[in-house]
Amino acid sequence: GNSVTQMEGPVTLSEEAFLTINCTYTATGYPSLFWYVQYPGEGLQLLLKATKADDKGSNKGFEATYRKETTSFHLEKGSVQVSDSAVYFCALSAQAGTALIFGKGTTLSVSS
Amino acid sequence: GAVVSQHPSRVICKSGTSVKIECRSLDFQATTMFWYRQFPKQSLMLMATSNEGSKATYEQGVEKDKFLINHASLTLSTLTVTSAHPEDSSFYICSARRGVAKNIQYFGAGTRLSVL
């Protein structure tokens, strides 16, 4: 079946450090891939998405590239800020309009 | 951006009581809403898909008589946990789908249910 595996946290970084959160998936066909972020006390927010192989999603300095050959969608940011501290979820949608399948989430803590 | 309101954010109840959680799409119509459950340090697990005007579709292992879902309008879906027990304590999250083509879901802030 379809599944998402992302690196376990917590990830603790200093401000301006480089961030990578690994995400790999298993799916039949051509899923859409997402990164969601959950700030403390808030709901999940869409951070970025990619709908086909080699697409790069980007937002707020974060990037992720849909790699079909490695079934990966790693999240990166060149210079993190304290305000980036949150839980990050990788997710896939097997078909348009279907529910999302989530990874377990990775907690990021950035200190100044 | 699109806003989904989920209420209440936190509820504490006695074992045996029923709890209703509301999920509203505030600025768009949502023919489909999803209900997820999240255990500590675990992923969000889909419980059911709620379609306006029809019966919800439940995932395998989710008791539909235990978790009643009603999607009576294009902006409101409710989840009722009936005769709640301590093992039902969890974090419940709803999402609303805005359009099929864009395949984007907007999430509520979640409801923390604690059953004593």
Express each pLDDT in A4-43 by its tens digit: 999 888 999 999 999 999 999 999 888 999 999 998 877 7
Distance of alpha carbon B12 from alpha carbon B41, whole angstroms:
21
B contacts of A49 (beta carbons < 8 Å): 104
Can you read off the two tokens belonging to residue A53? 């192989």
How many Cβ contacts (< 8 angstroms) between chains A and B? 49
- The whole-number pLDDT of residue A75 equals 98
- The whole-number pLDDT of residue A78 equals 97
Q: How many helices (H) and strands (E) does chain A have?
A: 0, 12
A38 residue type, one letter: Q
- Those of residues 23-82 in B touching chain A at CB distance below 8 A are 32, 34, 36, 41-44, 46, 49
Tell which of B21, B38, B41, B44 to mutate to test the A interface (max A CBs under 10 Å): B44
**pLDDT tens figures, A61-98:** 999 999 999 999 999 999 999 999 999 999 999 887 78
Determine the residue of chain A that is closest to B9 in CA distance. A41
